[in-house]
């Protein structure tokens, strides 16, 4: 290994070990590229202002070539900033020392002789990639014309305006659309050039000696484009019949091409807008904590979502059907058109992190089981409630990890049979469960400092409070539920009283329970 | 055990589910559908399925509608069929109890107009149950295990008979049901024809024959209560 190679290797290792170097590079990366950094946000604003003002001064200079001293200073300053920015971007584009070390390691690990030339070639190639990237070219063109000997390139200073593409997101969207529709636009451009070429050649052939305004091929091309653009300034008009025919054809083709161009851009803008909107919805979800994900906004999902929404729960709804999501959004819910069976979607929605519960309410057992499984694989804690379509599949839901699973048919069976037997008690039960009449089931848990701890039930004097004690849930015992406990039943902390009554009556008891003092 | 005749129209999953439960409670009933392709499935499940054209009123009469049929379930997947059947049956017999299921929201109202006694909306029920599971998981768990489940705590209705000792006494006097280990949820007054009155509402009410008490408790306890009050 030659002396120079050793020097290079040593230097690369030195850079790799240097904390300062890494920190500096990291800082520049945050400043120039990190999408979420506040620093970049301020830097972008500063750069936009700099670009706008430097262009304004350039325009001012057109009529006032002598310039003003402080203006010149400003122009110099902005130039320096642009140059530094260009160099920094050039620097952070790739980690040359890493590339070098990779090549070196590869050579030593595989017992191949290390070629310095090859390593340098890789590094330079990577840097050249940057130099020839469109945005970098724009950056360079914004700087170069300031160099005195290249003054004739002053017009390129206007390229500074294109620099704004770097800093504004909406402009980025536009460039994205252009790149996305590259193929369509390219095809259209070929067709347009063909039409222009044919049209201008035809008019050139037909009119060169008849029409004093068409003398060169350039005139013909100019006329063709103006006519095709449906502008027709009228400065050049065909005088021969053949010329007029060409003109008519050109106008028809021109309209067609423009219509195509417009439709391509508009359609892709529309799809892009949906995407933009969606990314905003995802950002909305990011802000939520402890929310409920509802997969499927069918009739079951609708009922659940409505009731939970009224109670102030945070909901996120996923459905394949855009019209259903639209309906949900109209009702003020967060809805996302997505395939809920994709674990990526569920992951992006925070299932496994911030989502507390997930409801699988699509109308297919396969999908519901799949969602259950996906959600369970993402989180052990999440509570999964699934709607079973076919009762024979119920077992699969529990195998997949659902906490609760039940079907409509089952409920119907239960309610239907109950109705035949005892229509009145059915009505009572339904009223309590649906909370239509205001009499509800509720839970009061006795906490450690409650005044009811170690007291008998008699102390609660439930009858006077117009409450009915259904039972007490004591989770750590072998028989956790005590139905209709007698008056001398002693309450312990963490007991849960299941009470029937009106909401405000229950709330009175709840307030007493929250008080620390003895009654 | 029970002599009330029950017809289940539409051999659907809901029908099978209801049938299973009715069977367990000792009721006899008949499945009816107009699709003969369902026969093998019914045979496999051991269900007695009649294939009839239910749209014909005469057929309905031969089934006993207007005579001894007390309950009719309309359980078809299509709301159109359910509404039509409800209407046909109601026109034949104004008294029969028609329990209809529905699959769309606007059909609920149509079924009510057609004369259904009760409309069961499976989606609504399912949705409400999920809602309860999220807001009050413990309550649902307890209810699922007790009233809906296999544990021996049931909800029952008791009709007060003329010769019962409860007849004529005030509700307050019969309220302490502690000694029977059962809960009195409320009553349904025959005369007032009003909605169900919950015990917690605090009304004091004179019990008459024909009033219906709704209680929750172990079957044995409820039986004991019935015996003691000669119900």
- Residues A71-104 have pLDDT tens digits of 778 878 888 888 898 899 899 888 888 888 888 8
How far is the C-alpha of B156 from the C-alpha of B218, rounded, in Å?
10
DSSP secondary structure of B147-201: TSSSSS-EEEEEEPPTTSTTTTSBHHHH---GGGTEEEEEEE-TTT--SPEEGGG
How far is the C-alpha of A429 from the C-alpha of A434, rounded, in Å?
8
Residue with tokens 């359910």, as numbered in its chain:
B82
What CATH class has A289-412?
Answer: alpha beta
Please check whether residue B115 is in contact with residue B72, taking contact to mean a CB–CB distance below 8 angstroms: no
Residues of each domain in chain A carrying CATH 3.40.50.720? 289-412
CA distance A448 to chain B (A): 19
Contact B138 A443 (CB under 8 A): yes
Contact A409 B175 (CB under 8 A): no
Are residues B168 and B114 part of one domain?
no
Q: Which residues of chain B does A307 touch, with a Cβ-Cβ cutoff of 8 Å?
A: 127-128, 131
Mean per-residue pLDDT, B99-105: 85
Mean per-residue pLDDT, B213-220: 82
CA distance A53 to chain B (A): 58
Please check whether residue A216 is in contact with residue A236, taking contact to mean a CB–CB distance below 8 angstroms: no
How far is the C-alpha of A217 from the C-alpha of A239, rounded, in Å?
17
C-alpha Rg value of chain B to the nearest Å: 20
Are residues B83 and B15 part of one domain?
yes
Task: Look at the alpha carbons of B193, B194, B197, B202 in this order and tell me if their dihedral is positive or negative.
Answer: negative
Number of domains chain B is built from: 2
Q: Rounded to an integer, what is the distance from CA A70 to the centroid of its chain?
A: 44
| A323's tokens | 């019209």
Q: Assess B127–A contact: CB distance below 8 Å, yes or no.
A: yes
Are residues B70 and B157 part of one domain?
no
pLDDT at A405 over 70: yes
Q: Of the ranges A97-111, A173-187, A428-442, which one carries the lowest mean pLDDT score?
A: A428-442
Give the mutation candidate from A410, A475, A501 for the B interface (greatest B CB count, under 10 A): A410
| A437's tokens | 């009449």
In CATH terms, A173-269 corresponds, of 3.40.190.10, 1.10.287.70, 2.60.40.10, 3.20.170.30, to 1.10.287.70
Contact B99 A408 (CB under 8 A): no
The candidate with the shortest Cα–Cα distance to A6, out of A122, A114, A125, is A114
Nearest residue, CB atoms, B22 vs list A302, A417, A422: A417
Q: Which residues of chain B does A408 touch, with a Cβ-Cβ cutoff of 8 Å?
A: 14, 122-123, 125-126
CATH architecture of the domain A438-514 equals 2-Layer Sandwich (3.30)
pLDDT at B144 over 80: no
Are residues B111 and B8 part of one domain?
yes
**Per-residue pLDDT tens digits for A445-491:** 887 777 777 878 777 777 777 788 888 888 777 777 778 777 778 88
* DSSP, res A482: E
Mean per-residue pLDDT, A219-237: 89
Please check whether residue A295 is in contact with residue A358, taking contact to mean a CB–CB distance below 8 angstroms: yes
pLDDT at A519 over 50: no
Are residues B92 and B199 part of one domain?
no
Q: Assess A409–B contact: CB distance below 8 Å, yes or no.
A: yes
Are residues B103 and B36 part of one domain?
yes
Contact B212 A406 (CB under 8 A): no
Quick one: closest CA in A to B13, which residue? Answer: A409
With vertex at residue A126, the alpha carbon angle to CA A121 and CA A129, rounded to the nearest 5 degrees, is 125
Q: Assess A436–B contact: CB distance below 8 Å, yes or no.
A: no
Q: Of the ranges A7-21, A42-56, A452-466, B87-101, which one carries the lowest mean pLDDT score?
A: A452-466
Contact B22 A433 (CB under 8 A): no
**Structural domain includes residue B124:** no
Percent of chain B past pLDDT 90, that is, above it, reads 0
How far is the C-alpha of A262 from the C-alpha of A201, rounded, in Å?
27
Q: Name the helix (H) or strand (E) containing A439.
A: strand A439-445
- State the pLDDT confidence band at A170, using cuts at 50, 70 and 90: low
How far is the C-alpha of A357 from the C-alpha of A42, rounded, in Å?
39
* DSSP, res A497: E
Residues of each domain in chain A carrying CATH 1.10.287.70? 173-269
Q: Tally Cβ neighbours within 10 Å of residue A278.
A: 13
Are residues B44 and B107 part of one domain?
yes
CA distance B56 to chain A (A): 25
CA distance A418 to chain B (A): 9
A341: helix, strand or coil: coil
The candidate with the shortest Cα–Cα distance to A166, out of A58, A40, A291, is A40
Q: Residue A417 burial by CB count (10 A; 0-12/13-18/19+): exposed, middle or buried?
A: buried
Q: Which residues of chain B does A499 touch, with a Cβ-Cβ cutoff of 8 Å?
A: none
Give the mutation candidate from B70, B76, B97, B123 for the A interface (greatest A CB count, under 10 A): B123
Q: Which residues of chain A does B120 touch, with a Cβ-Cβ cutoff of 8 Å?
A: 412, 415-416, 419
Rounded to two decimals, the pTM is: 0.62
Q: How far apart are the first and last CA of chain B?
A: 19
A303: helix, strand or coil: helix
**Per-residue pLDDT tens digits for A274-325:** 777 777 777 777 777 788 889 988 888 888 898 888 888 888 888 888 888 8
Are residues B83 and B167 part of one domain?
no
CATH number at residue B78: 3.40.50.720
- Total CB pairs under 8 A between chain A and B: 198
Please check whether residue B10 is in contact with residue B35, taking contact to mean a CB–CB distance below 8 angstroms: no
Q: Name the helix (H) or strand (E) containing B8.
A: strand B5-9
Please check whether residue A351 is in contact with residue A293, taking contact to mean a CB–CB distance below 8 angstroms: yes
Determine the pLDDT at residue A251. 92
Average model confidence (pLDDT) across chain A:
83
Distances A155 to A222, A338, B26, B160 between C-alpha atoms, Å: 22, 48, 96, 101
C-alpha Rg value of chain A to the nearest Å: 37
The candidate with the shortest Cα–Cα distance to A470, out of A434, A504, A501, is A501
Q: Of the ranges A20-24, A255-259, B225-229, which one carries the lowest mean pLDDT score?
A: B225-229
How far is the C-alpha of A456 from the C-alpha of A492, rounded, in Å?
9
Determine the pLDDT at residue B193. 58
A501: helix, strand or coil: strand
3-state SS, one letter per residue, for A61-104: HHHCCCCCHHHHHHHHHHHHHHHHHHHHHHHHCCCHHHHHHHHH
Contact A470 B216 (CB under 8 A): yes
Mean per-residue pLDDT, B39-46: 84
| A418's tokens | 């109950």
In which domain, by residue range, is B208 found?
151-227
Q: Name the helix (H) or strand (E) containing B210.
A: none
Q: Tally Cβ neighbours within 10 Å of residue A210.
A: 12
Which ipTM was obtained for this model? 0.76
How far is the C-alpha of A354 from the C-alpha of A289, rounded, in Å?
5
Torsion angle in degrees (nearest 10) through CA of B209, B214, B215, B220: 60
Quick one: closest CA in B to A386, which residue? Answer: B130
């Amino acid at each position: 290994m030659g002396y120079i190679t050793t020097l290079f290797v040593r230097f690369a290792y030195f850079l790799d070990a240097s904390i300062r170097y890494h920190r500096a590079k990291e800082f520049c990366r945050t400043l120039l590229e990190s999408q979420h950094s506040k620093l970049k946000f301020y830097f972008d604003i500063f750069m936009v202002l700099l670009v706008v003002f430097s262009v304004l001064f350039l325009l001012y200079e057109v009529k006032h070539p002598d310039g003003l001293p402080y203006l010149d200073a400003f122009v110099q300053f902005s130039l320096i900033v642009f140059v530094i920015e260009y160099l920094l971007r050039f620097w952070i584009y790739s980690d040359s020392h890493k590339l070098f070390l990779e090549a070196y390691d590869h050579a030593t690990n595989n017992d191949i002789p290390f070629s310095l030339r090859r390593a340098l070639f890789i590094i330079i190639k990577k840097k050249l990639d940057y130099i020839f990237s469109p945005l970098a070219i724009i950056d360079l063109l914004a700087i170069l014309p300031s160099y005195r000997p290249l003054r004739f390139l002053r017009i390129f200073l206007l390229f500074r305006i294109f620099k704004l593409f770097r800093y504004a997101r909406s402009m980025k969207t536009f460039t994205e659309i252009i790149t996305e529709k590259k193929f369509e636009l390219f095809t259209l451009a070929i067709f347009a050039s063909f039409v222009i070429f044919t049209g201008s050649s035809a008019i050139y052939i037909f009119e060169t000696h008849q029409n004093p305004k068409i003398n060169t091929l350039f005139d013909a091309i100019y006329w063709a484009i103006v006519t095709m653009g449906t502008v027709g300034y009228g400065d050049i008009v065909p005088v021969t019949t053949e010329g007029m025919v060409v003109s008519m054809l050109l106008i028809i083709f021109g309209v067609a091409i423009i219509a195509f161009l417009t439709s391509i851009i508009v359609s892709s803008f529309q799809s892009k807008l949906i995407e933009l909107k969606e990314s905003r919805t995802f950002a909305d979800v990011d802000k939520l904590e402890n929310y409920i994900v509802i997969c499927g906004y069918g009739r079951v999902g609708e009922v659940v979502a409505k009731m939970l929404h009224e109670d102030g729960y945070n909901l996120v709804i996923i459905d394949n059907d855009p019209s259903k999501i639209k309906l949900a959004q109209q009702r003020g819910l967060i809805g996302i058109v997505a395939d809920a069976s994709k674990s990526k979607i569920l992951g992006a929605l925070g299932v496994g992190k911030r989502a507390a519960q997930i409801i699988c309410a699509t109308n297919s057992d396969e999908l519901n089981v799949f969602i259950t499984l996906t959600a369970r694989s993402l989180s052990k804690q999440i509570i999964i409630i699934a709607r079973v379509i076919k009762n024979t599949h119920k077992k699969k839901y529990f195998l997949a990890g659902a906490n609760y699973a039940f079907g409509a048919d089952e409920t119907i069976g239960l309610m239907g049979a109950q109705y035949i037997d005892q229509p009145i008690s059915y009505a009572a039960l339904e009223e309590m469960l649906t909370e239509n009449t205001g009499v509800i089931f509720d839970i009061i848990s006795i906490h450690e400092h409650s005044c009811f701890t170690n007291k008998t039930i008699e102390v609660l004097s439930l009858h006077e409070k117009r409450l009915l004690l259904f039972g007490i849930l004591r989770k750590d015992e072998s028989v956790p539920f005590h139905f209709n406990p007698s008056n001398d039943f002693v309450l312990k902390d963490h007991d849960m009283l299941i009470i029937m009554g009106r909401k405000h009556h229950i709330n009175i008891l709840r307030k007493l329970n929250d008080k620390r003092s003895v009654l | 055990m029970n002599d009330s005749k029950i017809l289940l129209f539409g051999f659907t999953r809901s029908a099978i589910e209801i049938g299973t439960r009715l069977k367990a409670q000792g009721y006899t009933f008949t499945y009816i559908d107009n699709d003969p392709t369902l026969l093998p499935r019914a045979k496999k499940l051991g269900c007695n399925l009649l294939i009839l054209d239910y749209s014909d009123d005469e057929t309905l009469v031969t089934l006993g509608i207007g005579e001894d049929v007390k309950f009719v379930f309309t359980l078809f997947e299509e709301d159109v069929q359910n509404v039509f059947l409800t209407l046909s049956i109601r026109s034949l017999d104004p008294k029969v109890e028609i329990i209809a299921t529905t699959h769309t929201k606007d059909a609920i109202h149509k079924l009510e107009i057609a004369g259904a006694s009760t409309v069961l909306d499976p989606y609504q029920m399912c949705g409400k149950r999920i809602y309860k599971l999220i807001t009050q998981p413990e309550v649902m768990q307890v209810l699922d295990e007790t009233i809906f489940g296999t544990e021996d705590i049931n909800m029952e209705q008791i009709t007060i008979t003329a010769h019962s000792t409860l007849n004529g006494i005030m509700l307050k006097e019969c309220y302490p049901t502690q000694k029977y280990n059962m809960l009195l949820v409320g009553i349904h007054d025959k005369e007032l024809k009003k909605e169900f009155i919950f015990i917690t509402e605090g009304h004091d009410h004179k019990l008459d024959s024909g009033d219906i008490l709704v209680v929750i408790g172990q079957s044995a306890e409820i039986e004991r209560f019935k015996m003691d009050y000669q119900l």
